[in-house]
Structure 1
Amino acid sequence: MTAQVEDPVTAQQKRNEMLARLLAATSLKDRRAFAELYQLSSAKLYGVVLRILVRDEWAEDCLHEAYMKIWNAAGTYRPDRAAPMTWMSTIVRNQALDLLRRRRREVRRAEPENRNEEVDPGLLPQERLQQSEEGRRLNDCLEQLKANQRQVIVLAYFKGLTHEELSQQTGTPLGTVKTWIRRGLDQLKRCLES
């Protein structure tokens, strides 16, 4: 007798439904549901944080803070707007970028003006992402974007630049940068879900 293999799309839908139920229970301050949500999602979300921050100790602290935000904001989750992992990944990513910006400001204040930049010999977050299967899929989808959309998305997500910084760096009006990001992310989402 052969084992029946579940369709990946059906498996993902079931996972999304389970995570959505756990988020709904978490919004009612159900600690068991929150613990299960953490167990099911923390490994993937830790990967998101680690790609941005690179340093394990920063990533661990950031993930803890992000889950506190998820605990407090679970009632705002809307399944019709985003998949549960997408919603949680956004919170985690924003938390990581905020931490990265704070650390950069701290380093700038602490180091003298004429310091020599040291380059970490390890892989950069974008290079680590490209080595994973998910990363290769994301990279394929990024390649389908227009060059300007791809540029601002990569700079925003992998370098942590704000919309204003992107506007200055690319010499593009702020509204245009925001449009490129919004449209590019919509296209990425469709590509990754197909």
Structure 2
Amino acid sequence: MDDLSIIELYFERDEQAIRETDQKYGKLCYKIAYNILESREDSEECVNDTYLGVWQAIPPTRPKSLMAFVCAITRNLSFKKLESERAQKRSHSAVVSLSELEDILPDERIKDSLGDEELGRLISRFLRRQKADARNVFIRKYYFFDSINEISTRYGFSESRVKNMLYHTRNRLREFLIKEGVEI
């Protein structure tokens, strides 16, 4: 079933919408959650909570991309769960991945004044200007939280090349943000 039809099912409050969403995006949502949480049970719970979140958001929201909408909800819920677990001193690869970006993103005080949406727009604009390979590798690492090994397998690159691409893309992002007037 296509996304527009699934969205219509949500607007009709037809529970088939959840089953269709699960069939089409369930594995992707689970992978995102698992890459962040590294726990089968927590990931399954997060995916189920995603469906509830989508059900509650549509209507009134009519997403342009159901996949992006569902993935964003999964990521946000996974990070909320990760934050509560981090308070319990658990370590996760998502925390490690995000810590790689700490040196190039504004600190919380500056980010609060800049706004998450504006920072997101700047990063999106930066990524659109990058070569496809660099952009895709960056997104797989910092949006989907794929491991270096998964990325190298997916694109047929050596792990060394993936690490090098990420290093240079992070540096270019830092330079871009500074040029745009963002205090780092």
TM-score, normalised to structure 2, is 0.56
Pick closer, same or farther for the CA change 1:74–1:102 going to 2, 3 Å. same
Superimposed CA distance per residue, residues 4-42 of structure 1 (whole angstroms, 9 cap, x where no aligned partner): xxxxxxxxxxx8xx1132022123221223211211111
The Cα shift of 1:43 comes to 0.6
Quote the Cα distance in structure 2 between the aligned partners of 1:53 and 1:119.
9
Number of the residue aligned with 1:102: 84
The residue number in structure 1 matching 2:112 is: 174
Which residue, 173, 176, 183 being the options, matches 2:122?
183
Distance 1:189 1:87, change over 3 A: farther
Gaps of 5+ in 2: 137-184
**Contact 1:22 1:36 (C-alpha < 8 Å) held by counterparts:** yes
Seen in structure 2, the aligned counterparts of structure 1 residues 167 and 151 have a Cα distance that, compared at 3 Å, is same
Query: What is the DSSP-based 3-state SS (H/G/I as helix, E as strand, rest coil) of the residue aligned with 2:58?
Result: helix
Q: Identify the range of structure 1 (47-56 vs 69-78) with the bigger mean alpha-carbon deviation.
A: 69-78
The code of the aligned residue for 1:167 comes to E
Match in the other structure for 1:26: 10
Please tell me the residue identity of whatever aligns with 1:34.
I
| Residues 169-188 of structure 1: per-residue CA shift (max 9 Å, x gap) | xxx46324643333103544
Letter matched to residue 80 of structure 2: D
TM-score, normalisation: structure 1: 0.53
Matches of 1:102 and 1:150 in 2, distance apart? 24
Give the 3 Å change call, closer, same or farther, for CA 183–32 of structure 1 in structure 2.
Answer: same
In 1: Cα distance, 2:128 partner to 2:12 partner: 29
- The answer to whether the aligner puts 1:151 opposite 2:92 as a matched pair is no
Aligned partner of 2:41 in structure 1 is 57
Find the residue that maps to 2:59 and give its secondary structure: helix
Which residue is 1:84 aligned to? 66
Bigger relative contact order, structure 1 or 2 (CA pairs below 8 A, ≥6 apart):
2
Instruction: Give the aligned CA root-mean-square deviation in angstroms.
Output: 3.7
Q: For the Cα contact (< 8 Å) 1:24–1:74, is it kept in 2?
A: no
Runs of 5+ consecutive residues of structure 1 not aligned to the other structure:
1-14, 109-117, 129-147, 153-162
What percentage of aligned pairs have identical amino acids?
19
Q: Greater Rg, structure 1 or structure 2?
A: 1
Deviating beyond 2 angstroms after TM superposition, the runs of 4 or more aligned structure 1 residues are: 76-79, 124-128, 148-152, 172-182, 185-194
SS of residue matched to 2:56:
helix
Q: How many pairs were matched up?
A: 130
What is the Cα deviation at residue 167 of structure 1? 2.0
